[in-house]
């Protein structure tokens, strides 16, 4: 069983930055592909970014490319999402996920952390 706990959300002005963290427990973290999803009010949950187990491969949804960076520290069992140049449309609940394998669907989800970008 894998547990995922997000932190780092909050209120930020447009153009600002936030860094989300996700602490994982259970299993061998370095073997897991990890990712982030988000869900804005009234919208479906959408994929944001993913990273493979050793951190040398990442991919992003087009709307965040060049602004968001996913990374991981396997010694700390933690994955991060650095969000820069935030826009009001980035406002959402952000979820950390473990993917079944790199590029696959998620099989474990965190509880989510709220990110609100004020314009």
The per-residue pLDDT string of the chain (119 residues; one tens digit each, 9 = 90 and over) reads 999 999 999 999 999 999 999 999 998 999 999 999 999 999 999 999 999 999 999 999 999 999 999 999 999 999 999 999 999 999 999 999 999 999 999 999 999 999 999 98
Burial class (CB in 10 A: 0-12, 13-18, 19+), 83: buried
Distance CA 9, CA 25 (A): 20
- pLDDT reported for residue 43: 96
Q: CA separation (Å) from 2 to 12, 59, 80?
A: 30, 23, 17
């Amino acid at each position: 069983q894998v547990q995922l706990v997000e932190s780092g959300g909050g209120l930020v002005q447009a153009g600002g930055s936030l860094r989300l963290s996700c602490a994982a427990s259970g299993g061998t973290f370095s073997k897991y592909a990890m990712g982030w999803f988000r869900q804005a009010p009234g919208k479906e949950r959408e994929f944001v970014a993913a990273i493979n187990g050793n951190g040398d491969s990442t991919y992003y949804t087009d709307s965040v490319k060049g602004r968001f960076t996913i990374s991981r520290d396997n010694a700390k069992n933690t994955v991060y999402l650095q969000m820069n140049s935030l826009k009001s449309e980035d406002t959402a609940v952000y979820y950390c996920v473990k993917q079944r394998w790199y590029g696959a669907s998620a099989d474990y989800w965190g509880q989510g952390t709220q990110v609100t970008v004020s314009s």
